[in-house]
Chain A
């Protein structure tokens, strides 16, 4: 999995290429913990299947999706 960060003022875009799974999730978690300082708007550019996982687990009620 590759993560590319693109920061523009308070907006951060994370381009995620490859699979997020048990082995790669810690890497994404580490990026999230360090890169979100001062960020008020986060964009995740990833496979559309990720959206469906957010729906099943109810995170579409917690987060705002555009």
Chain B
């Protein structure tokens, strides 16, 4: 098992640094490009939500932990902002025509659809959101 951790200001300007940190670990695991794209999208969604909402109107930090274990990777996001479980909200109805669609919710839907597991916890006054993705050529969850 290999675990790396990054603590960074939770600001959208730091997204590139967060993705770079995650991508280095994924490349070390020989992660296929398509799976890396899925993980990058999930990381972006979660980190940007922390940056935009967790400490509003103030600012704070986020810790991103990447755990490579066997053929899967777990990425955990920890922040001490306002408690909020993004998994509790109902998924938007994607069968609706455009004029009936509500705004929002698609980002977390993409995370739920593309990751193999997503877990939320609130521990010691910290939000802990973990995504897990199996990285194994030919056995990807895929998007369809």
Contact = CB atoms under 8 A, between A and B. Distances in A.
How would you classify the secondary structure of chain A's contact residues: helix, strand, loop or mixed? helix
B113 interface: yes
B34 A23 contact: no
Contact of B109 (A22, A23, A56): A56
A21 interface: yes
A57 B15 contact: no
Interface of B, helix, strand, loop or mixed by DSSP = helix
Contact of A22 (B37, B48, B143): B48
A55 B97 contact: no
A35 interface: no
A29 to B, nearest CB: 14
B44 interface: yes
A57 B109 CA distance: 8
Q: How large is the interface on B (under 10, 10 to 19, 20 to 34, 35 or more residues)?
A: 20 to 34
A66 interface: no
Contacts of B144: 52, 55
Nearest to B19: A21
B54 to A, nearest CB: 15
B80 interface: no
B63 to A, nearest CB: 20
Nearest to B15: A22
Given A22-B12, A23-B12, A56 B95 contact: no
A22 B44 contact: yes
B115 to A, nearest CB: 12
Interface string B18-37: 00000000000000001001
Given A23-B15, A62-B98, 18 more contacts: A21-B15, A22-B12, A22-B48, A23-B12, A23-B16, A49-B34, A52-B144, A53-B41, A53-B110, A53-B143, A55-B143, A56-B110, A56-B114, A57-B94, A57-B106, A58-B96, A61-B95, A61-B97
Interface of A: 21-23, 49, 52-53, 55-58, 61-62
